[in-house]
């Protein structure tokens, strides 16, 4: 299906599969991938399951783009990411062509950060991917879901709760911002987009 080319991006959104996890905070990465896909739907093929992930292939500005949504549950995301990277022949020198999108509990809702070659900061899904690739040399689009001070839930329960109506409105703005930033990064590069996206 795929042949390695010099211009390719593997963009992976993290989350948990299953209807019960739809629109939960921990699925922000899934939501971002789907938002990008909806904006460029005409340019992508139908979703297929491959290597424990839902994947679709398309093109943006002449560059091959693979969108992936792992179906392994968050903490085992590396199983899908590692298999896809291997199949696409994305060796360590190509790891800057792997872009990861995920929730970040250290950032407030509405805040976003683009990081390159950064440690996991305790995010289990990111840890799994770093372990599978043997490197952290990929880009990470981090979407804030920080817990309000008044919230008393344990972190592992908080991240699995759905966004409420007020939060969802902010989340939608973040998703559109991230889609626009992905468009920009695919056009002018990560470094130039980072200064805008990280505001």
Catalytic site residue 26?
Answer: yes
Task: Name the catalytic one among 26, 94, 102, 123.
Answer: 26
Q: What is the pTM of this model?
A: 0.95
DSSP SS3 for 78: helix
The domain ranges of the chain are 8-197
Assess whether pLDDT exceeds 70 at residue 95: yes
Assess whether pLDDT exceeds 90 at residue 69: yes
Assess whether pLDDT exceeds 90 at residue 2: no
CATH number for the domain whose boundaries are 8-197: 3.40.50.1470
């Amino acid at each position: 299906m795929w042949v390695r080319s010099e211009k390719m991006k593997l963009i992976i959104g993290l989350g948990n599969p299953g209807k019960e996890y739809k629109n939960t905070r921990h699925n922000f990465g899934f939501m971002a991938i789907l938002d990008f896909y909806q904006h460029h739907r005409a340019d992508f093929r139908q979703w297929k399951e491959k290597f424990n992930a839902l994947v679709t292939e398309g093109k943006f500005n002449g560059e091959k783009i693979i969108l992936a949504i792992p179906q392994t549950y968050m903490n085992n995301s590396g199983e899908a990411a590692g298999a896809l990277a291997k199949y696409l022949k994305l060796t360590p020198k190509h790891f800057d062509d792997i872009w990861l999108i995920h929730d970040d509990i250290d950032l407030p809702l509405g805040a976003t950060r683009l990081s390159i070659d950064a440690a996991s900061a305790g995010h289990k899904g990111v840890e799994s991917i770093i372990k599978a690739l043997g490197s952290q040399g990929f880009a990470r689009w981090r979407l804030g879901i920080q817990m309000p001070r008044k919230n008393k839930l344990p972190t592992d329960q908080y991240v699995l709760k759905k966004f409420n109506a007020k939060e969802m409105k902010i989340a939608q703005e973040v998703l559109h911002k991230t889609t626009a930033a992905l468009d920009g990064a695919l056009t002018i590069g990560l470094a130039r987009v980072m200064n805008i996206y990280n505001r």
